[in-house]
Amino acid sequence: MTRWLDPDEQHTWRAFLAASRALMDTLDRELQRDAGMPHAYYEILVRLSEAPERRLRMSELADTTGSSRSRLSHAVARLEAAGWVRREDCPTDRRGQLALLTDEGFATLAAAAPGHVEGVRRHLFDPLSPAQVDQLRRISEALTDHLSRP
Amino acid sequence: MTRWLDPDEQHTWRAFLAASRALMDTLDRELQRDAGMPHAYYEILVRLSEAPERRLRMSELADTTGSSRSRLSHAVARLEAAGWVRREDCPTDRRGQLALLTDEGFATLAAAAPGHVEGVRRHLFDPLSPAQVDQLRRISEALTDHLSRP
DNA sequence: TCGTTTTTGTTGAGCGTTCAACTACTTGGG
DNA sequence: CCCAAGTAGTTGAACGCTCAACAAAAACGA
């Protein structure tokens, strides 16, 4: 009783797969080349830079970046080794850890941001009409909505 | 002179990022759990299964799956170790290699397909209206078009 | 024809992610 | 109050991907 994909659906699925993979690969490669870090690490720095006092609980950081706790642990270990992030004990929960963005990390982020934003604009927004950008937002929200249900 | 993202664009970009990551992660995890292989490997098997005589040049396979030659080499090595794929010398080009899907590989694919297709339907098509599916196809094609330019 | 350039595919090292197992702490019910 | 259950975060091994370097064969050009 499999609900197979008809040729149109097949086409759509493969087009989406190819496009999102090509986009992510391109941005990842650009960021690695220009800033020496993968996109996932860039995102961690961004979230920290937006947090009050540039610090966040590990679990909040994991949630907002959509990554597992394990992945975040490894990532923060690397970012700490690079001098871009520091860890601190959480004052209200002795299990907790805070990750905080160092000045050096902020500077690195500030240096990487213009190039990356330019890449996002060139590869994502420029090829789409304003209507399509709007459609993409609604589509993405619908998918996320559905995926984050029980 | 950076063309920064306005709040709406920022929102769209993050929504797309979250959605495509969550979708891919979910499908990848399902496939790993149910078929013991990552989505990239499943795709290789699919492409081979659709090829005449279930065999393709390594470079064609790399192109259609959107992966680097190196990545494909490593992947086929693993698939060969699993008994799902075999390599053969290309008769017309002595540099070339053909990858061919074994019967065992075909059987594994046939067993994995229904569950995976069901996942794609549930997580991608079911949450979207027919109009949105159409929009997604056009958006994806526009992005791929642009990315595969120069 | 001979040498250069391109194309094809592989290899190994290094990196990032996943998964399962684990410690340490907090929470909640009897 | 105490113990069971849940939560926060880390760890190490296995795996897949990237990158640069490489060998072999084909295509090209003078």
Residue B128 contacts residue A12 (beta carbons within 8 Å): no
Q: What is the mean pLDDT of residues B43-56?
A: 98
Q: List the single residue in A with minimal CA-CA distance to B119.
A: A3
- pLDDT at position B150: 60
Closest C-alpha to A120, from A42, A11, A18: A42
A82 in contact with chain B, both atoms CB, cutoff 8 A: no
Residues by CB within 7 A of strand C: list them.
A 37-38, 40-41, 67-68, 70-71, 74-75, 78, 93-95; B 25, 29, 32-33, 57-59, 62, 69-70, 72-74, 76-77, 87, 90, 93, 95-97
| Calpha distance B149→A14 (Å, rounded) | 19
Nearest CB among B11, B13, B66 relative to A18 is that of B66
| Calpha distance B126→B119 (Å, rounded) | 10
CB atoms within 10 A of CB A140: 23
How do residues B63-102 score in pLDDT, each as one tens digit?
Answer: 999 999 999 999 999 999 999 999 999 999 999 999 999 9
Residue A104 contacts residue A83 (beta carbons within 8 Å): yes
Taking the CA of residue A83 and the nearest CA in chain B, the distance in Å comes to 26
Across the interface, whether the CB atoms of A135 and B133 are under 8 A apart is answered: no
A29 in contact with chain B, both atoms CB, cutoff 8 A: no
How do residues A97-113 score in pLDDT, each as one tens digit?
Answer: 999 999 999 999 999 99
Q: List the single residue in A with minimal CA-CA distance to B63.
A: A18
Model pTM score: 0.95
58-77 in B: which are within 8 Å (CB) of A?
66
108-127 in A: which are within 8 Å (CB) of B?
113-114, 117-118, 120-121, 123-127
| pLDDT class of A150 with cuts at 50, 70, 90 | low
Q: Calculate what percentage of chain A has a pLDDT beyond 70.
A: 99
Q: Calculate what percentage of chain B has a pLDDT beyond 70.
A: 99
How do residues B13-47 score in pLDDT, each as one tens digit?
Answer: 999 999 999 999 999 999 999 999 999 999 999 99
C1' nearest to CA of A32: which nucleotide? D18
CB atoms within 10 A of CB A67: 19
Closest C-alpha to A17, from B59, B123, B135, B24: B24
How do residues A44-71 score in pLDDT, each as one tens digit?
Answer: 999 999 999 999 999 999 999 999 999 9
Pairing of strands A97-101, B97-101: unpaired
- Indicate if the alpha-carbon torsion angle A72, A25, A112, A63 is positive or negative: negative
Cβ-based contacts of B8 with chain A (< 8 Å): 137
Q: Which domains does chain B have, with CATH numbers?
A: 21-147 (1.10.10.10)
- pLDDT at position B80: 97
Laid out side by side, the sheet with A55-57 consists of A55-57, A97-101, A85-89
Amino acid at A70: S
B95 in contact with chain A, both atoms CB, cutoff 8 A: no
Residue A45 contacts residue A90 (beta carbons within 8 Å): no
